[in-house]
Amino acid sequence: MTAPLLDLRSVSRHFGGLRAVDDVSFTVSDGEIISIIGPNGAGKTTLFNLLTGQLAPTSGSILYLGKDIGSLKPHHRARLGFGRTFQISQTMMSMTVLENAMVGAFLHISAVREAAEKAESKLELVGLAEHAGRRSGELTLGGRRRLEVARALAMEPRLVLLDEVMAGLNQTEVNDVLTLVEKLNAAGTTFLVIEHNLKVVRAFSKRVLVLNRGQLLAQGSADQVLSDATVIEAYIGKQQL
Amino acid sequence: MSNPDLSLDQLHAASRRGRVPTLVNELPRLLGILVLLVGLVLLFIGDSFSLNVLATAFLFAGLATAWNIIGGLGGQFSLGHSVFFAIGAYMTANLILGYKLSPWLALLPSMTLGAVVAALVSWPVFRLRGPFFAIATMALTEVALALAMYFESVTGGAQGLSVPFKAGLTNMIFRDRMSYAFLMLGFLAVALLIFAAIRHSRLGYALQAVRDNEETAEAAGIDVLRTKLVGMAISAALMAAGGCLYLMYVRVVDPPSLFSLFDVGVKVALIALIGGIGTTYGPLLGALLIVPLENYLRAELGGAIPGSNLLALGFILMLTALYLRRGIVGAILKLRDRSWRILR
Ligand SMILES: Nc1ncnc2c1ncn2[C@@H]1O[C@H](COP(=O)(O)OP(=O)(O)OP(=O)(O)O)[C@@H](O)[C@H]1O
Ligand SMILES: [Mg+2]
């Protein structure tokens, strides 16, 4: 049996007395689309930061293809195949849209022309090709989120982590991103997606993880999880389905 | 060639693909500017006062361009670049006085030492961000000054070191000011070429990404610390080369002229800032404006009220900070964009 793509074993991260991520274990197989849901402050973003190396775990281990990556820096993990977007959209504001995407493309390409070509093709995927020459700071919030997706994709990642990438997008844009994720997934990319919109979660995710107060409350298919009494109590009671 | 399945939009997109400026696109412009500067030197043949000002302006344009690699592209606002400049000057002086080496041959060891020292001292300082980084680099200058005063055997202490006048190309010492103007122009050309090459390379994009957003940069696979160190080392190597040329120009170096803040460390940052930080030709424009102006002010005002030339320069910096956030080049680009929009 080959090692799963990701294997989290009792991963915790404390901030002082706060257990932002508390003894979380799960595995991710190659080719999955997994949604992570949970109320505000549940620890979802912290979990992402542990996976991509922005934060180090207080305890527990994170295995990627069987190797412990817990002590690797973010740029090393990027090289291994992690691509991500940030909840608070982070673009290089003084650089153009094309240049932003190129920064991702340079991960595996050193020639400028080739990097630009790769970047441009990813911008086309997310519908930003028309804006290639504009400063990224001039984009709308939705545009900046899509640009982050393009930058992550330009890294040709094996695993993509999207942190509330749909927030601030209009319905058409949401559908476009959904279609894009499904298409890339069909081509072999694995996705971990933090998402508040449960319609979106139902639409594309076969497996859903529910975090609450740092703990993994439930996992399973969307239908299973969303009918689970503890989940409803912790989370859905406060939200519109 | 024509494909009926492609819409006009797709054709446009396809033809735009990969259209980013590269070094090859930049070279004609760089060459054109250098030709203009050669013309400027020739214009002042025989006028040694003006040639002096030009040589100084070219030197500082080259130094500010070197600073611009890490300060502009990399966003690391160093105020301590005089340290690497001084390393170049002292290293060259020692190699000439101790080993009778030609300054041309002293260039390489000077640049190497500058780069190595830069990487070593920057390592801890790069943990600091924004103003804290700038202040720490300023403190570095003070430490370097103290060291230069202390290690008299290497630096000549407060007296400094002087290189005897032996004119000749191999000695890099000339009787006429025009040769120095061309020497400094050569240095500027190399600095601009290196800056443009970096700017249009993977390293240049990495430096800019680090400047704009460190967190995103590292998530995109950029080794932030390594990128800053490489940028700093190249920048410092060029500063050291400038220090070598400066020594051959004035033939004396002493701590006050190397380390008093405004003379080099702050001035190069100021010149880049006024001209247009992070732009290829901003530092050149800044130097062509500031160096002659400073000369004029020192001659006209400095005598009457000591320090008033510095006051005037501070005032110009304030105006730049208030009205030309991206320097002269930034303002020109904005004007061009605006008129472009109107014309379309
Ligand atoms: N760097 C930090 N230092 C201290 N506390 C932190 C830090 N990052 C997160 N926290 C805290 O950890 C908890 C989990 O935060 P996190 O951002 O992971 O939640 P989340 O599930 O992403 O929430 P949201 O849905 O609002 O984005 C919160 O209480 C938060 O205040
Ligand atoms: Mg979050």
pLDDT one digit per residue (tens) for chain B, 344 residues: 344 445 555 555 545 555 788 899 899 999 999 999 999 999 999 899 999 999 999 999 999 999 999 999 999 999 999 999 999 999 999 999 999 999 999 999 999 999 999 999 999 999 888 788 888 998 999 899 989 888 988 888 888 899 988 888 988 999 899 999 999 999 999 999 999 999 999 999 999 999 999 999 999 999 999 999 999 999 999 999 999 999 999 999 988 888 876 778 889 999 999 899 899 999 999 999 999 988 888 777 766 666 776 777 777 777 777 777 777 888 888 777 777 666 55
A93 contact residues in B (CB cutoff 8 A): 212-213
Output the CA–CA distances (angstroms, integers) from residue A98 to A150, A151, A222, B176, in the order listed: 10, 9, 37, 49
Cβ burial, residue B190 (10 Å; 0-12/13-18/19+): middle
Would you say residue B337 lies in a domain? no
Given a contact cutoff of 8 angstroms between Cβ atoms, the answer to whether B169 and B100 are in contact is no
* Residue of A52, A54, A58 lying closest to A21 (CA atoms): A58
Q: Tell me the sheet residues that pair with A219.
A: A209
Given a cut of 70, whether residue A36 has pLDDT beyond it is yes
Q: A35 — phi, psi (to 5°)?
A: -100, 145
Q: A133 — phi, psi (to 5°)?
A: -90, -5
Are B19 and A116 inside 8 Å of each other by CB? Answer: yes
pLDDT at A168: 80
Closest ligand to Cα A19: 1
Rounded to an integer, what distance in angstroms lies between the CA atom of residue A45 and that of residue A165? 12
Amino acid identity, residue B95? L
Given a contact cutoff of 8 angstroms between Cβ atoms, the answer to whether A214 and A22 are in contact is yes
Rounded to an integer, what distance in angstroms lies between the CA atom of residue A78 and that of residue A157? 8
Q: Which of these CATH numbers, 1.10.260.40, 3.10.20.310, 3.40.50.300, 3.40.50.720, describes A6-81+157-236?
A: 3.40.50.300
B278 contact residues in A (CB cutoff 8 A): 94
Given a contact cutoff of 8 angstroms between Cβ atoms, the answer to whether B205 and B293 are in contact is no
Evaluated on CA atoms A213, A215, A219, A224, the torsion sign reads negative
Judged by DSSP in three states, A147 sits in helix
- Look-up: residue for tokens 């230069």? B148
Given a contact cutoff of 8 angstroms between Cβ atoms, the answer to whether B235 and B66 are in contact is yes
Would you say residue B295 lies in a domain? no
Residues of chain B with a CB closer than 8 angstroms to some CB in chain A = 13, 16-20, 22, 200-202, 205-206, 208-209, 211-213, 215-224, 278
Evaluated on CA atoms B144, B146, B150, B156, the torsion sign reads positive
pLDDT at B341: 63
Nearest atom (ligand 1) to Cα of A43? 18
pLDDT at A131: 94
Would you say residue B220 lies in a domain? yes
Domain range annotation of chain A: 6-81+157-236, 95-156
* Residue of A167, A209, A213 lying closest to A191 (CA atoms): A209
Closest ligand to Cα A36: 1
Given a contact cutoff of 8 angstroms between Cβ atoms, the answer to whether B188 and B65 are in contact is yes
* Neighbour tally for A224: CB within 10 Å: 13
Rounded to an integer, what distance in angstroms lies between the CA atom of residue A20 and that of residue A43? 5
CA dihedral angle for residue B16, residue B21, residue B27, residue B30, rounded to 10 degrees = 130
Given a contact cutoff of 8 angstroms between Cβ atoms, the answer to whether B97 and B284 are in contact is no
- Look-up: residue for tokens 């984009």? A139
Number of domains in chain B: 1
Would you say residue B307 lies in a domain? no
Q: Is A214 in the pocket of ligand 1 (CB under 6 A)?
A: no
- Look-up: residue for tokens 């400066």? B246
Evaluated on CA atoms B239, B241, B245, B251, the torsion sign reads positive
The pLDDT confidence band at residue A236, using thresholds 50, 70 and 90, is: low
Mean local confidence (pLDDT), A133-144: 91
Rounded to an integer, what distance in angstroms lies between the CA atom of residue B77 and that of residue B235? 12
The number of C-beta contacts closer than 8 angstroms across A and B is 101
Respond yes or no on whether ipTM tops 0.95.
no
pLDDT at B344: 52
* Residue of B118, B311, B343 lying closest to B230 (CA atoms): B118
A94 contact residues in B (CB cutoff 8 A): 208, 211-212, 278
Among A11, A21, A22, A44, the mutation site with the greatest number of ligand 1 atoms within 8 A of its Cβ is A44
Rounded to an integer, what distance in angstroms lies between the CA atom of residue B170 and that of residue B326? 41
Would you say residue B196 lies in a domain? yes
Closest ligand to Cα A211: 1
**Which tokens belong to A147?**
């640009």
Radius of gyration of chain A (CA): 18
**Which tokens belong to B57?**
């302006």
* Residue of A82, A89, A73 lying closest to A107 (CA atoms): A82
Q: Is A39 in the pocket of ligand 1 (CB under 6 A)?
A: no
| Nearest chain A CA: its distance from B206 CA (Å) | 7
Has this prediction a pTM greater than 0.80? Answer: yes
What percent of chain A has a predicted confidence (pLDDT) above 70?
A: 97
* Residue of B81, B82, B107, B80 lying closest to B92 (CA atoms): B107
B22 contact residues in A (CB cutoff 8 A): 112-113
SS (H, E, C) chain B: CCCCCCCHHHHHHHHHCCCCCCHHHHHHHHHHHHHHHHHHHHHCCCCHHHHHHHHHHHHHHHHHHHHHHHHHHCCCCCCCCHHHHHHHHHHHHHHHHHHCCCHHHHHHHHHHHHHHHHHHHHHHHCCCCHHHHHHHHHHHHHHHHHHHHHCHHHHCCCCCEECCCCCECCCCECCCHHHHHHHHHHHHHHHHHHHHHHHCCHHHHHHHHHHHCHHHHHHCCCCHHHHHHHHHHHHHHHHHHHHHHHHHHHCEECHHHHHCHHHCHHHHHHHHHHHCCCCCCHHHHHHHHHHHHHHHHHHHHHCCCCCHHHHHHHHHHHHHHHHCCCHHHHHHHHHHHHHHHHHC
| Nearest chain A CA: its distance from B208 CA (Å) | 8
Are B223 and A75 inside 8 Å of each other by CB? Answer: yes
Q: Is A41 in the pocket of ligand 1 (CB under 6 A)?
A: yes
Given a cut of 50, whether residue A104 has pLDDT beyond it is yes
pLDDT at B130: 77
* Neighbour tally for A1: CB within 10 Å: 3
Given a contact cutoff of 8 angstroms between Cβ atoms, the answer to whether B222 and B284 are in contact is no
Residue range of the domain that includes B78: 8-261
